[in-house]
Structure formats: C-alpha cells, structure tokens
Amino acid sequence: MEHTAKGLSAEELKAINAFTRREFREEDVYVFPVILCDNDIDRDFERFSDEALEALSKLYVGVTGIADHQPASSNQSARIFSCRTETVAGRQTSDGKPYRRLCAKAYLPKSEKNEELILALDSGIRKEVSVGCAVRRRICSVCGEDIAMCQHQKGKRYNGQLCFATLQEPIDAYEWSFVAVPAQKNAGVIKCFQPPKIAACGGRKGEPYQNMEVEKKLFAGEEQHFSAEEMQSLAERFKELEKKAFDGECYRDKLTKELKGLAAVALPGLSSETLGLMAKSLSVRQLDELKTAFEARTADLLPLHPQLASHNSKTGGNHNTIYQNI
C-alpha cells in the first residue's frame, strides 16, 4: 500500500458518490491507494496473466474490503471506487517478464469508528492485502495444460523448469482483505478456480469445486485432522475425479486409435508400436493437434471426389454417362 494522496479530482469524488446514498465531500472520506495483486510468481507458485489483471481491473470496481477473508457485513472496512493495471518501468518478474500490477483506490468514511483503522493505515500497520477471486483456468508452466488435469506439481522443477500455474479468465472478484501474511510478495492473494471444460469428461461443466480449503488442507504436506464432514466431502471429490479420469482415458484411447489409422496413410513407414509409444508421452491437447495434422496430410494424399463427379474427359463428352453409371 502507498501513502494517501492529498486532494481528490472531481472525477474521483463522482466515482465515490456513485456508491454512496448521499453526496460526500472530499473532507468526509479517507482515500488510499492499494496494490491488489500482480503478475509475479507468488508463494503458492501461482501468477496472474496480464490479460487476467486487465479483466480484474473491471471486476474489482465497487468491491468491498474486509479483514482476513471473513465474509461478514460487520467486517467491511472500505470500498474500491477505481482500479487499473500498470507496468512498472525497469522492473521484471522472477522469470524475466515485464512486471505488471493491479492498482486500486479505496475509500472509507471519516468517523470516530474508523479513526483506529485510518491510524493503522497511515502508520503502515495495516498494509498487506490479499484478493479473493475466481478464475476459469490455471495453466501449467511446463505442459500448457490445466494444472488440475496434468501430472506436474507446483513448486517442483522438471528438466530445470519451475512448475507454476498461470491464472487466466477471471469470472468473479468477490472481496479483498487486509491480512498479516499474504501469498504474494507484493500484495497477497487467495484464489479459487473452476475446473476446465472438457467435453469427454461428461461432468459438471464450469461448476466450481466448493471445498477448496479442505483440498488445500489435504495437500499441505503436514499432519492434518479431518472432520467427518470433511472426509465425506473429500470422498465425493475423489469419486468425481475418478470418473473424469476414466472418461479422459477413454477419450485418449479413442484419439490414439484414430491416430494409428491416419498414420498408416500419412506416414506408412512409422510402425503402430512406435506411434503408440509416442502417444503415451503426449497430452490430450497435443494428441488432438497431431490428429488434425494427420487428417490434413491424409486429405492431400487421398483427395475425395463427389460420388456423381463428371467423367467427361474419359467418356468423350457423353453427358449421360453419370446417370448410366448409377
């Protein structure tokens, strides 16, 4: 968080009053700028894409600020009235990309009740923040698949390449909080996500998993205790994932069989065994791309002709030949 800027423009005051029931003057409100999140890799080995930051800059206008992600009306403290992205000149992310961040301005009314909070803000005691939002996709940095569906683990290295997830396609921004220890080094972030839409899975497309905290607890890497309700939630989640995994394997087998048939025409020198070994190392997306390429190659080698195509060049111009051959 940065220090409070003195003086509000007419546009800023108008933006604030868009959320109030009566007209507030500049001396009635306390305004402060805040860095919500950025595109650097955070402590959870996740990052926002630049496109996601742009989308969040629109979603966060009007969103209320709370403390410690506790969604209670009595916990509300401030509200964002403007938000934008900015590139910090000369600064890069940990993996060498231009550093971008999401900057907002928030307000709260000056009152006896808020004096303690305003003092904490001015003194830098209340500083770290974290956002709560939902995204549609989390892309693995190693394979390019949704990280919920691939075999890679965040924080591990594969052939020297760090595995992390890039958060894309935000669909909701529901709160931002003052916290003591944020996930992001420069702001802090908590995330929930929606599983990818995969036609072959036959599951609930686009429906978010509602018990992310239970799942996060499971993979925390230390001894945990689960209630009966949490165990039931995890059991249901595993059954759902098991079904999706089975459907995914069925789709993968179908793609592999189709590839072998197409390869017999497009690359006759490539054995079915070799192609099968290659297919095992490819993701479903890569298999689908390879199938498309083989289909195009096969179409070039075996061009299709309409069933009633004219053969005038071979029949000496007999226009009735196509009917005689039916």
Residue 321 lies in a domain: no
Query: Which domain covers residue 170, as residue numbers?
Result: 10-196
**Residues 40-76, buried b or exposed e (16+ Cβ, 10 A)?**
bbbebbbbbbeebbebbbebbbebbbbeebeeeeeee
Residue 249 lies in a domain: yes
| Total number of residues shown for the chain | 326
Residues 145 and 267 both lie in one domain? no
Q: Could you tell me how far CA 263 lies from the centroid of its own chain?
A: 35
For 261-302, the pLDDT digits (tens) are 877 777 777 787 887 787 777 787 787 777 787 777 777 766
Which range (39-43, 135-139, 162-166, 178-182) has the least confidence? Answer: 178-182
Beta 29-38 vs 161-162: how paired, if at all? Answer: unpaired
Residue 288 lies in a domain: yes
Residues 191 and 294 both lie in one domain? no
Residue 14 lies in a domain: yes
Residues 53 and 188 both lie in one domain? yes
Count of structural domains, the chain: 2
**Residue 52: pLDDT band by 50, 70, 90 thresholds?**
very high
| Residue bearing the bigger pLDDT, 276 or 308 | 276
Residue 239 lies in a domain: yes
| Residue bearing the bigger pLDDT, 227 or 291 | 291
For 79-125, the pLDDT digits (tens) are 999 999 999 999 999 889 999 999 999 999 999 988 988 888 888 77
Q: What is the pTM of this model?
A: 0.56
User: In whole angstroms, what is the distance from residue 115 CA to residue 46 CA?
Assistant: 36
Residues 62 and 148 both lie in one domain? yes
Residue 150 lies in a domain: yes
**Any residues with CB less than 8 A from the CB of 27 and at least 6 apart, and which?**
110
Residues 189 and 239 both lie in one domain? no
Residues 138 and 31 both lie in one domain? yes
Residues 239 and 146 both lie in one domain? no
Residues 106 and 182 both lie in one domain? yes
For 155-201, the pLDDT digits (tens) are 999 999 999 999 999 999 888 888 766 666 565 333 344 443 433 33
Residue 162 lies in a domain: yes
Residues 125 and 247 both lie in one domain? no
Residue 320 lies in a domain: no
| Residue bearing the bigger pLDDT, 286 or 73 | 286
